[in-house]
Structure 1
Amino acid sequence: PGFLVGFAVLVLVNSLGLIPKEVTQAASSLSRWCLVVAISALGVKTSFQQLAAVGWRPVAMLTANTVFLAALILGGLWWLH
């Protein structure tokens, strides 16, 4: 719960405009970079042998979920422009 409380406090402080724009932009860039590193680390840790061992149905569900999320995000970006 500590992370959640800290997140809520930062949202409130940022919403009140107490954090300088430069700091917000730098934190946003750092956050995106950390997310890419975390996803890459998951990819490196993934074993195709273990993935094949779970069967084709979970892999198909994971693939369908990924395609759905990509379409949802790209559709939302298209809608905004």
Structure 2
Amino acid sequence: MQASAARAGFVVSKAVGNAVVRNKVRRRLRHLVRHRLDDLPGGSTLVVRALPPSAEASFDTLADDLDGALAAARRPRRPR
């Protein structure tokens, strides 16, 4: 049985900006995540929450922040 592919969802609230700005941020994030989904384990779900500064962030800044967040998520954590 083959595992399902990884998937991603985006949360871009009204605090980010008007509809045009929110959709621009969502499109940028979708493009960035598309190339990184293959690195995630099959069946995993990635949720990306855009904060208000993402409205003015450059594409490279968004890419760096996304890569940093994915690296932090992959790091093993201590058991509680």
Same fold (TM over 0.5): no
> What TM-score, normalized by structure 1, do the two folds share?
0.30
Instruction: Say which one has the larger Rg.
Output: 1
TM-score of the pair, normalised by structure 2: 0.30
Going by fraction, where is strand more abundant, 1 or 2? Answer: 2
Point out which structure has higher relative CO (alpha carbons under 8 A, 6+ apart): 2
